[in-house]
Amino acid sequence: MATSRRFQRRVDLASLAAFRIAFGSLLLVATLRSFWKGTIAEYFLLPTHFFKYWGFGWVRPWPGPGMYLHFALMAACALGVAVGYRYRASVVGFGLLFAYAQLIDKTNYLNHYYLVVCVCALMACLPLAGMSSIDARRDRSIRRTQVPVWMLWLLRAQFGLVYWFGGVAKLNEDWLLRAQPLSIWLGRTGDVPVLGALLSKAWAPFALSWAGAAFDLSIVPLLLLRRTRPFALLAVVAFHALTARLFSIGMFPYFMICGALLFLEPSWPRRLGARLALHRSTAPEGAAPPVPAWLPWGAAGFLLIQLLVPLRHWLYPGELCWTEQGFRFSWNVMLMEKDGAVDFRVVEPRTGRTFHVSPRAYFTAYQTAMMAPQPDMVLEAAQLVAADFRARGVEQPAVYADAFASLNGRPMQRLIDARVDLARETDGFSNKPWILPMNPMMPKPMNLQMEALARSQE
């Protein structure tokens, strides 16, 4: 009972309202960025084939200008979240539209896309428009100044799990003892002003690897402790600003900085407003409606799923980053540099006719580069090739993959058993025995890695 009362304790809504405004603003920037960078056409209009998530083969891009309209609606919903206009419809609308866009093609998966979907799902269940919103100005009955503390902890837990699993994933030989993949990535930052010369030192990748793991594992407790919170917040801003500058990881650093605001005192925006002489008297709030009985249990179930899904890779044999079985949706953040190359051989069993097929005949350059080192995507590509050859009149085509991959600077090695007919294999959650085990050889010396990288970019 004491624990239940502790989680029902009411706290200032100001922190959650500030988070809503900041998060909605970032969603708006990210959506508009898609128009500016031209990724809507690149990801959804140029490809003729798409890699599907298991069970979501029915999700397809809208025809004609439909995807531009889709993203325009996303931008409108993001703005609605930020300003608190028809908040519930806006956050649900954005979450569904964004999830639909990401389900179109597995090629485009990024950890922070999944984070956006999870956070939108949580926000849809919480009354975050109770203050500092257009809705609260228009409708007195939804005005709030306080909410149960478990609502704040729910969002804290979501961001905390990203840090925790991201840190645990880094406790491996490549990250800690070989400073990979940071050694490869930092080799590309020599032109960064001031920092470039420092990051080129031999010790820099090792120092940053250990610091990155320590940061991920410790930052949540440090944010929660009042004495260390100011220094932890500065560390969050500095760490994510640095990663945003050095690496091409999109909006992820900014989403995590936004999430860190949740760990401050719940009343921090109100106190900040008072210091800046922006504080105004709070309008009377309506009678708080009872929280649906299913909501706390639903929140607990959601968090349980978030705890279990990242652990599913233990059900599969082999190196996680090599087989990638259980890799997605598990917060394996900045964990690997993996390149690949693949070609297919199509054999007609009855006649013995053999055809050599390049994946570029079916996919864009970006899709091909992303598909080559990911076994489940190679399988899907092979089955697409088989379907195409059946349509051409080839009887029961067998499709074999000559697939090679390099993980964290290791030499290329065969990824998929070339003797297995991938046209006869099925995708799903079971183990894929046709993925060959990784040969745990040492990476190339860094100077050779950089030479190979330079040659590949010429």
For the chain, what is the mean pLDDT? 90
pLDDT digits (tens, 9 = 90+) for 237-285: 999 999 998 888 889 999 999 999 999 999 999 888 877 765 554 555 5
pLDDT at residue 295 tops 90: no
pLDDT at residue 446 tops 60: no
| DSSP codes joined into one string, 77-106 | HHHHHHHTSSHHHHHHHHHHHHHHHHHT-G
pLDDT at 275: 79
| DSSP codes joined into one string, 392-411 | TT-SS-EEEEEEEEEETTPP
Count Cβ atoms below 10 Å from residue 360 Cβ, excluding itself. 11
Is the peptide bond prior to 443 cis by the omega test (within 30 degrees of 0)? no
Q: 260 vs 49, 257, 315, 361, 426, CA distance in Å?
A: 39, 5, 32, 45, 42
pLDDT at 279: 53
pLDDT at 6: 67
β-strands 354-357, 398-407 pairing? unpaired
pLDDT digits (tens, 9 = 90+) for 33-79: 999 999 999 999 999 999 999 889 999 999 989 999 999 999 999 99
pLDDT at 454: 39
The average pLDDT across 210-218 equals 96
- Show the tokens assigned to 175: 């990250």
Kindly give the residue spans of alpha helices, DSSP state H, lying in 131-228: 134-138, 149-169, 173-177, 182-186, 195-199, 204-224
pLDDT at 445: 44
Q: Which of the four pLDDT bands, split at 50, 70 and 90, describes residue 113?
A: very high
Q: Which residues have CB under 8 Å from 6's CB, separation 6+?
A: 149
pLDDT at residue 82 tops 90: yes
pLDDT digits (tens, 9 = 90+) for 1-37: 455 566 678 899 999 999 999 999 999 999 999 999 9
Distance in angstroms (rounded) separating the CA atoms of residues 167 and 234: 19
pTM over 0.85: yes
pLDDT at residue 235 tops 90: yes
pLDDT digits (tens, 9 = 90+) for 328-385: 999 999 999 999 999 999 999 999 999 999 999 999 999 999 999 999 999 999 999 9
Helix, strand and coil percent figures for the chain, each rounded to 5: 55, 5, 35
